[in-house]
Chain A
Amino acid sequence: MSASNASLSLFRSLLREARKVDNYNFRLYAIRRVKIGFRNNRGMMGNEAEFAFREGVEQLDILRRQVVLGNLYPSARSVMEAA
Chain B
Amino acid sequence: MMNRMNSILASSASSASTRRAATSAIAATSSFLPSSGLGRLVGLGVLRGQLASSSSAPSASFVSSSSSAAASAVVYDEDNATATVAFGGGNDKRFSIAGTFREGRASYLDTSATTPMDPRVLDKMMPYMIGSYGNPHSRTHSYGWEAETVVESARAQIANLIGASSKEIIFTSGATESNNLSIKGAAHFYGGGAGAGGGGGRRTEHKCVLDSCRSLEMEGYEITYLPVQPSTGMIDMSELERAMRGDTLLVSIMAVNNEIGTRQPIEEVGKLCRSRKVLFHTDAAQMLGKLPIDVNAMNIDLMSLSSHKIYGPKGVGALYVRRRPRVRLEPLFSGGGQERGLRSGTLPHTLCVGFGAACELASREMEYDTAWVTYLSDKLCRGIEERIPMVIRNGHAEMRYPGCVNYSFAYVEGESLLMALKNVAVSSGSACTSASLEPSYVLRALGVDDELAHGSLRFGIGRFTTEEEVDFLLDLLEEHVTRLREMSPLWEMVQEGIDLKSIQWSQDAHHH
Contact = CB atoms under 8 A, between A and B. Distances in A.
Q: Do A and B bind each other?
A: yes
A8 interface: no
Nearest to B472: A80
B105 A66 contact: no
A36 B368 contact: yes
B464 A66 contact: no
B119 A76 contact: no
A82 B123 contact: no
Q: Sort A-B residue pairs by CB-CB distance and give the 7 closest, nearest first.
A: A79-B104, A25-B464, A66-B119, A76-B105, A82-B104, A79-B423, A62-B123
Interface of A: 21, 24-26, 28-29, 33, 36, 59, 62-63, 65-66, 69-70, 75-83
Interface of B: 102-108, 116, 119-120, 122-123, 126, 368, 423-424, 463-466, 468-469, 472
A21 B106 CA distance: 18
Contacts of A77: 103-105
A41 B464 CA distance: 22
A79 B105 contact: yes
Nearest to A79: B104
Contacts of B466: 24-25, 28-29, 80
Please classify the interface of chain B as helix (H, G, I), strand (E, B), loop, or mixed, using the class held by over half of its residues: mixed
B468 A62 contact: no
B102 A83 contact: yes
A62 B463 contact: no
Contact of A66 (B123, B465, B469): B123
Contact of B123 (A24, A33, A65): A65
Contact of A80 (B104, B120, B463): B104
B104 A76 contact: yes
A79 B122 contact: no
Nearest to A67: B119
Given A77-B103, A79-B423, 10 more contacts: A21-B119, A25-B116, A26-B464, A33-B368, A36-B368, A76-B105, A78-B104, A79-B104, A79-B105, A82-B102
A78 B122 contact: no
A54 B468 CA distance: 33
A52 to B, nearest CB: 12
A80 B102 CA distance: 9
23 contacts: A24-B466, A28-B466, A29-B463, A36-B368, A59-B120, A62-B123, A65-B126, A70-B119, A75-B105, A77-B103, A77-B104, A77-B105, A78-B104, A78-B107, A79-B105, A79-B106, A79-B423, A79-B424, A79-B472, A80-B466, A80-B472, A82-B104, A83-B102
A50 B83 CA distance: 76
Nearest to B468: A80
A41 to B, nearest CB: 12
A75 B108 CA distance: 13
A18 to B, nearest CB: 11
Nearest to B372: A32
Nearest to B119: A66
A70 B465 CA distance: 18
Given A26-B464, A29-B463, A80-B472, A62 B120 contact: yes
A51 to B, nearest CB: 13
A63 B423 CA distance: 29
A34 to B, nearest CB: 12
Contacts of A65: 123, 126
Nearest to B368: A36
Nearest to A30: B119
Contacts of A24: 466
B99 to A, nearest CB: 14
Nearest to B364: A55
A76 B102 CA distance: 14
A82 B107 CA distance: 11
Given A25-B108, A66-B119, A79 B368 contact: no
Nearest to A25: B464
B373 to A, nearest CB: 12
A81 B120 CA distance: 23
A69 B121 CA distance: 13
A43 B120 CA distance: 26
Given A62-B119, A66-B119, A80-B472, A25 B103 contact: no
A36 B375 CA distance: 15
Contacts of B123: 62, 65-66
Nearest to A83: B102
A77 B105 CA distance: 6
Nearest to A28: B466
B105 A78 contact: yes
A82 B116 contact: no
B469 A80 contact: yes
Contacts of A66: 119-120, 122-123
B119 to A, nearest CB: 4
A79 B100 CA distance: 13
Contacts of A82: 102-104
